[in-house]
């Protein structure tokens, strides 16, 4: 069974490998990390989206980023180096550290809690709903039903 | 004119104040049965008329400011700061909302205009309208106090009157800027009306759901204004800011999204109250929250609490909004606690697989989206308070947290309409879900060879392609579900009337405008989602270009034909002329510009965009290479963007249809005028 699973997974891995070949090259990493950093000129834009004419920060930060990628530093090290140099506001989103982790955790946690709460609430309501006694057949209601059917049909 | 404007604002404040006080006294007398020297009915009527008159006074003030802009009256500080002589007439009109004071005056004016309509149409329900009018007058008093005391638009310049003004911010000199802010304000301000009705209905323990029927159209129109305002802002950002995108998750953009999300939730959940008498407290709090979030959004924009490229300058005005926000919240909470027994639900949910449940989950997801946006917007402030340093919460955060929520919402958009009220049987689920499910699956497989590779989420840090893949598949599912709803209904009509299918679909829609208009809105929203998902495949290229030089981007070859410069009294401009080829065929000529405005010496990009249904070729003139003097051209290939604007048009159409009365009801109404004395509630039937 295990062998079968391996056989099934192997072509998948090969296909994935071929299809994503070169996806982590230097240019892609520059684009990726460049979109995780902010331009520090005060424009409030993501680094690679800053379109200020002659922006002094864009050129400097881009050169630093390219240099760090060329040196073979990993993404986290590059982001940390930028944070140390320019302060935490240079990161376009908070890192998963200490208090900042709350930024990432709170919204999905509340959504999950909301879901759980809603499901429990509906179950509770359903349990409380008493079964209605069967209504005796009333032939006079047939006219009314027919009228409602006529009025509500498309 | 400044003196006339100031006087008009004072009169408007006095009239609104009278409306509030006299209205409150009259309603108190009516509630307790006590009578003063004047009957409460007459007192309430004088209050109503004062409210109507306050509209004319506020309109006079707004007119005075616009007149000052058109006549270059630089004795008014606001006019000096936001206009100049060379400014085209349309933008002089826009000067009314281009600064803090003017935009607050616009807010007060629109509020009084809404109040005017509400007070004129008081016969819909005299007592409830009296409550709503008084509450609205309270809000009017706040905004009129602001423009009379804290942010006066008619302040005079100190010293000598300047010969010319500073001019309008160049970024605002764009046609959409003439309509985007008023639309947005119409949306923000408009939510005051359903808020006033809801609070009034709760205060007077109004029986039944009539207040919802009265405010349904108000809420939908307001929602539509806000939607159009938000999308006009997106289109403006796309066309003017020149960074290649339309939504930057800026705090001010987020502020407009907050009431939109809760307002959308309200429009859905209110159906549960109308249909089954459920979720009364929830609905009341949704509309309270929508109004409070509109105020909070304004507070964020104007107090300098969060850093934004849009925000008005920091000022003491934030304190006013804090006080107002806390006061409104206290009034809402107090009224709710006093009257909550009045909001007991008449039915309870019977099944998790039902229309009611789908609305409940839809509300939950919309509120989760609202909370996420609010949390992301305020987290930098929280971080500074707790850690002592500010962090940035920008696009990467929202892409990871808000996008999955949006995709789930899209899923619910498809599921909701095909579930039955109360409970849905397995057989019905199978019947309604199989075809949309198959279409969704087919789309999911078919788009993989087109370059949508969801597995990149496992091999890179990039999630865009994965969410785009899910979005396209979901879109296939939802669109099929919507079409199936139309098809099923139209088929029945076709069998009975012998009309063709299209005519049957039109008749079906006219018979239940609210339901099928709603589906058309969903159709528009799905197209918007498709357009947004295209963002995952954006490409860009930047190059310094000499004559006849070219570069390739996607299927296009962009060639520089010429570059030059020009000037007029308002601005100097540099531009490039580009030929765009697809293969050897000339597709279009583009001319991106860079303008330097004379008055402010601020640069502004004029984007050149070749838009097709497949992709936009979006080109900007990014400046001159200082070494060579040649233009630097930046081009973006943004797939599917056009579908966002098409989706908006369909959403507008759908909302318009949903607002129209049903065909059968209208016919019945005509008959009623001739024969029957019994009233007919046109347009109330629906789903």
Note whether B40 contacts A: Cβ–Cβ < 8 A.
Answer: no
Looking up tokens 């909470």 gives B333
The CATH class that applies to domain A24-93 reads mainly alpha
B602: how many CB neighbours lie within 10 A of its CB?
A: 14
B134-181 pLDDT, tens digit per residue, is 999 999 999 999 999 988 899 898 888 888 888 887 777 788 878 888
B157 with B25, same domain? yes
Q: Which residue of A has its CA nearest to B244?
A: A49
What is the predicted pLDDT for the residue at A144?
A: 60
B508 in contact with A, Cβ within 8 Å: yes
Question: How many CB atoms are located within 10 Å of the residue B323 CB?
Answer: 11
Looking up residue B115, the CATH number of its domain turns out to be 1.20.120
Indicate whether B679 belongs to any domain: no
Examine the pLDDT at B214 and tell me if it is beyond 60. yes
Which of B130, B153, B168 finishes a domain? Answer: B168
* CA B192 from centroid of its chain's CA atoms: 14
Taking residues B401-419, report their average pLDDT. 86
Q: Which of B309, B402, B455 faces A44 most closely, judged by CB atoms?
A: B309
- pLDDT on residue B680: 36
Work out the percent of chain B whose per-residue pLDDT is above 70: 93
Least reliable range by pLDDT among A8-12, B78-82, B683-687: B683-687
Whole-angstrom CA distances from B38 to B29, B421, B640 are 10, 51, 65
To the nearest 5 percent, what fractions of chain B are helix, strand and coil?
65, 10, 25
Residues B260 and B379 in one domain: yes
Q: Which of A20, A115, A121 sits opposite B456 (nearest CB)?
A: A20
pLDDT attached to residue A137: 54
The whole-number pLDDT of residue B668 equals 47
Q: How far apart are CA B248 and CA B231, in angstroms?
A: 13
Q: Is B258 on the interface with A (CB under 8 A)?
A: no
Please report residues of B whose CB lies closer than 8 A to that of A90.
392
Domain ranges of chain A: 24-93, 98-130
Asked if A20 lies within 8 A of B453 by C-beta distance, the reply is: yes
**Interchain CB distance below 8 Å, B375 and A106:** yes
Q: Residue B230: inside a domain, yes or no?
A: yes
Residues 6+ apart with CB under 8 A from A113: none
B437 and B515, same domain (yes or no): yes
**Same domain? B187 vs B257:** yes
Gap from A66 CA to chain B (nearest CA, Å): 16
pLDDT of residue B316: 73
Q: For residues B373 and B402, is the Cβ–Cβ distance under 8 A?
A: yes
Contacts 24+ apart (CB under 8 A), A130-138: none
Q: How confident is the model at residue B11 (pLDDT cuts 50, 70, 90)?
A: very high
> pLDDT at residue B13 above 60?
yes
Are both B35 and B162 inside the same structural domain?
A: yes
| Among candidates B308, B368, B456 on the partner chain, residue whose Cβ is nearest the Cβ of A110 | B368
Size of interface A-B (CB pairs under 8 A): 147
Residues within 8 A of B (CB atoms), A 53-82 only: 53-54, 75
- CB contact under 8 Å between B371 and A53, yes or no, is no
pLDDT of residue B300: 82
pLDDT band at B670 (very low <50, low <70, confident <90, very high): low
Do B103 and B185 meet the contact criterion of CB atoms below 8 Å apart?
Answer: yes
Interchain contact A32–B (C-beta under 8 A): yes
Sites in chain A below the pLDDT cut of 50: 1, 4, 7, 9-10, 12-23, 132, 135, 152-154
Question: What domain range includes position B530?
Answer: 421-536+652-674
**Mean pLDDT over the full length of chain B:** 86
Token pair, residue B359, equals 């609305």
**Whether A11 contacts chain B with CB within 8 A:** no
Would residue B681 count as lying in a domain?
no
Which residue, of B385, B420, B455, is where some domain finishes?
A: B420
C-alpha distance from residue B2 to each of B86, B95, B96, B106, B317 (Å): 22, 15, 14, 16, 22
Same domain, B459 and B554: no
Residues of A in contact with B605 (CB under 8 A): 51
Chain A hits for B456, CB-CB cut-off 8 Å, are: 20, 23
Please answer yes or no on whether A111 and B364 come within 8 Å at the CB atom: yes
Whether B524 and B551 share a structural domain = no
pLDDT of residue A20: 42
> Looking at the complex, does the CB of residue B361 fall below 8 Å from at least one CB of chain A?
yes
Q: Would you give the distance in Å from CA B676 to the centre of its chain?
A: 41
Q: Taking a C-beta distance cutoff of 8 angstroms, is the pair B130, B118 a contact?
A: no
Same domain, yes or no, for B502 and B512?
Answer: yes
Kindly state the DSSP code that residue A38 receives in the 8-state scheme. B
In a domain, B658, yes or no: yes
Query: pLDDT at residue B529 above 90?
Result: yes
Q: Is B21 on the interface with A (CB under 8 A)?
A: no
- Looking at the fold, whether B330 and B192 belong to one and the same domain comes out as yes
Is A133 an interface residue toward B (CB < 8 Å)? no
- Phi/psi region, residue B159 (left: phi>0; alpha: psi -120 to 50; beta: rest), is left
Predicted confidence at residue B166, as pLDDT, reads 83
Please, where are the H alpha helices in chain A? 2-19, 26-34, 56-70, 75-86, 101-128, 141-152
The number of domains in chain B is: 4
Under DSSP, the state recorded for A131 is P
Hey, is the C-beta of B352 within 8 angstroms of any chain A C-beta? yes
**Would residue B120 count as lying in a domain?**
yes
Q: Both B607 and B470 in a single domain?
A: no
Q: Which residue of B has its CA nearest to A17?
A: B459
Q: What is the pLDDT of residues B341-397, one digit of tens each?
A: 887 777 777 677 777 788 888 899 999 999 999 999 999 989 988 888 888 888 889
Longest alpha-carbon distance in chain A: 88
Query: Does B627 lie in the same domain as B587?
Result: yes
Within 8 A of B458 by CB-CB distance, chain A residues are: 16
Least confident interval from B20-24, B166-170, B422-426, B476-480: B422-426
Dist CA A146 CA A132 (whole Å) = 23
Query: Residue B684 falls within a domain, yes or no?
Result: no
Distance of alpha carbon B109 from alpha carbon B97, whole angstroms: 11
Contacts of B594 in chain A (CB under 8 A): 53
A53 neighbourhood in chain B, CB within 8 Å: 594, 603, 622-623
Distance of CA B54 to the CA centre of its chain: 27
Cross-chain CB nearest to A92 (options B392, B455, B605):
B392
Of the candidates B387, B400, B459, the beta carbon closest to that of A23 is on B459
On the question of pLDDT at B547 being above 60, the answer is yes
Nearest-Cα distance to chain B for A38, in Å, is: 8
Residues B513, B392 within the same domain: no
Give the pLDDT confidence score for residue B310 in this predicted structure: 61
Of B32-36, B88-92, B261-265, B634-638, the range with the lowest mean pLDDT is B32-36
Is position B680 within any domain? no
In our burial notation (b when 16+ CB lie closer than 10 A, e otherwise), range B338-347 reads ebeebbebee
Q: Please state the φ and ψ torsions of residue B567, each to the nearest 5 degrees.
A: -155, 155
Q: How confident is the model at residue B281 (pLDDT cuts 50, 70, 90)?
A: confident
């Amino acid at each position: 069974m295990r062998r079968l699973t391996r056989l099934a997974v192997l072509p998948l891995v090969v296909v994935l490998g071929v299809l994503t070949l070169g996806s982590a090259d230097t240019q892609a990493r520059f684009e990726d990390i460049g979109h995780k950093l902010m331009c520090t000129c005060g424009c409030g834009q993501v680094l690679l989206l800053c379109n200020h004419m002659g922006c002094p920060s864009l050129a400097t930060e881009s050169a630093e980023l390219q240099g760090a990628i060329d040196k073979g530093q990993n993404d986290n090290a590059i982001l940390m180096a930028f944070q140390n140099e320019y302060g935490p506001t240079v990161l376009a989103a908070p890192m998963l550290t200490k208090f900042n982790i709350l930024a990432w955790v709170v919204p999905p946690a509340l959504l999950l809690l909301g879901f759980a709460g809603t499901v429990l609430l509906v179950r509770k309501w359903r349990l409380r709903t008493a079964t209605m006694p069967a209504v005796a057949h009333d032939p006079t209601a047939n006219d009314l039903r027919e009228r409602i059917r006529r009025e509500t049909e498309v | 004119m400044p003196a006339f404007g100031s006087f008009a604002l004072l009169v408007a404040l006095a009239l609104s104040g009278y409306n509030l006080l006299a209205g409150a006294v009259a309603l108190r007398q009516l509630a307790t049965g006590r009578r003063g020297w004047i009957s409460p009915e007459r007192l309430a009527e004088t209050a109503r008329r004062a409210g109507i008159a306050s509209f004319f006074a506020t309109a006079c003030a707004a007119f005075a400011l616009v007149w000052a802009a058109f006549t270059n009256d630089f004795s008014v500080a606001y006019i000096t700061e936001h206009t100049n002589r060379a400014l085209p007439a349309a933008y002089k009109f826009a000067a009314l909302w281009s600064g803090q004071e003017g935009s607050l005056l616009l807010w007060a004016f629109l509020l009084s205009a809404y109040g005017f309509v509400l007070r004129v149409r008081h016969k819909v329900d005299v007592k409830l309208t009296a409550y709503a009018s008084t509450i609205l007058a309270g809000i009017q008093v706040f905004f009129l106090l602001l423009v009379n005391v804290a942010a006066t638009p008619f302040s005079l310049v100190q010293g000598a009157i300047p010969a010319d003004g500073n001019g309008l911010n160049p970024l605002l000199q764009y046609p959409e800027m003439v309509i985007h802010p008023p639309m947005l304000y119409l949306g923000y301000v408009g939510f005051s009306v359903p808020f006033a009705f809801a609070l009034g209905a709760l205060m007077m323990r109004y029986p039944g759901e009539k207040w919802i029927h009265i405010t349904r159209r108000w809420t939908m129109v307001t929602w539509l204004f806000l939607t159009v305002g938000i999308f006009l802002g997106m289109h403006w950002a796309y066309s003017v800011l020149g960074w290649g995108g339309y939504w930057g998750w800026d705090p001010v953009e987020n502020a407009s999204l907050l009431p939109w999300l809760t307002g959308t939730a309200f429009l859905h959940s209110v159906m549960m109250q109308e249909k089954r008498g459920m979720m009364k407290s929830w609905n009341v709090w949704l509309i309270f929250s929508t109004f409070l979030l509109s105020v909070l959004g304004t507070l964020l924009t104007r107090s300098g609490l969060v850093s934004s490229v849009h925000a008005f300058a920091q000022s003491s005005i934030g304190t006013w909004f804090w006080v107002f926000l806390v006061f409104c919240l206290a009034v809402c909470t107090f009224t709710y606690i006093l009257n909550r027994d009045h909001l007991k639900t008449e039915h309870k949910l019977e099944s998790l697989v039902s229309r009611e449940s789908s609305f409940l989950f839809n509300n939950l997801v919309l509120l989760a989206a609202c909370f996420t946006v609010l949390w992301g917007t305020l987290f930098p402030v929280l971080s500074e308070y707790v850690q002592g340093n500010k962090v940035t919460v920008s696009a990467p955060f929202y892409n990871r947290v808000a996008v999955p929520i949006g995709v789930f919402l899209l899923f619910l958009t498809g599921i909701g309409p095909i579930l039955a009220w109360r409970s849905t049987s397995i057989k019905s689920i199978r019947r309604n879900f199989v075809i949309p499910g198959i279409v969704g699956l087919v789309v999911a497989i078919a788009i993989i060879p087109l370059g949508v590779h969801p597995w990149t989420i496992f091999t890179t840090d990039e999630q865009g392609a994965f969410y785009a893949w899910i979005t396209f598949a979901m879109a296939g599912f939802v669109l099929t579900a919507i079409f199936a709803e139309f098809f099923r209904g139209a088929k029945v009509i076709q069998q009975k009337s012998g009309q063709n299918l299209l005519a049957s679909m039109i008749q079906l829609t006219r018979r239940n405008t609210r339901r099928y208009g709603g589906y058309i809105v969903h159709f528009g929203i799905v197209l918007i989602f498709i357009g947004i998902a295209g963002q995952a495949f954006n490409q860009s290229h930047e190059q310094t270009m000499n004559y006849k030089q070219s570069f390739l981007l996607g299927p296009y070859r962009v060639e520089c034909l010429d570059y030059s410069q020009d000037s007029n009294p308002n601005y100097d401009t540099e531009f490039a002329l580009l030929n765009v080829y697809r293969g050897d065929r000339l597709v279009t000529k583009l001319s991106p510009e860079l303008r330097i405005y004379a008055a402010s010496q601020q640069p502004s990009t004029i984007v050149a965009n070749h838009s097709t249904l497949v992709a936009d070729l979006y080109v900007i003139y990014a400046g001159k290479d200082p070494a060579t003097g040649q233009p630097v051209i930046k081009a973006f290939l943004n797939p599917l963007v056009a579908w966002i604007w098409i989706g908006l048009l369909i959403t507008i159409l759908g909302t318009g249809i949903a607002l129209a009365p049903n065909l059968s009801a209208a016919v019945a109404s005509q008959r009623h005028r001739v024969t029957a004395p019994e009233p007919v509630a046109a347009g109330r039937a629906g789903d």
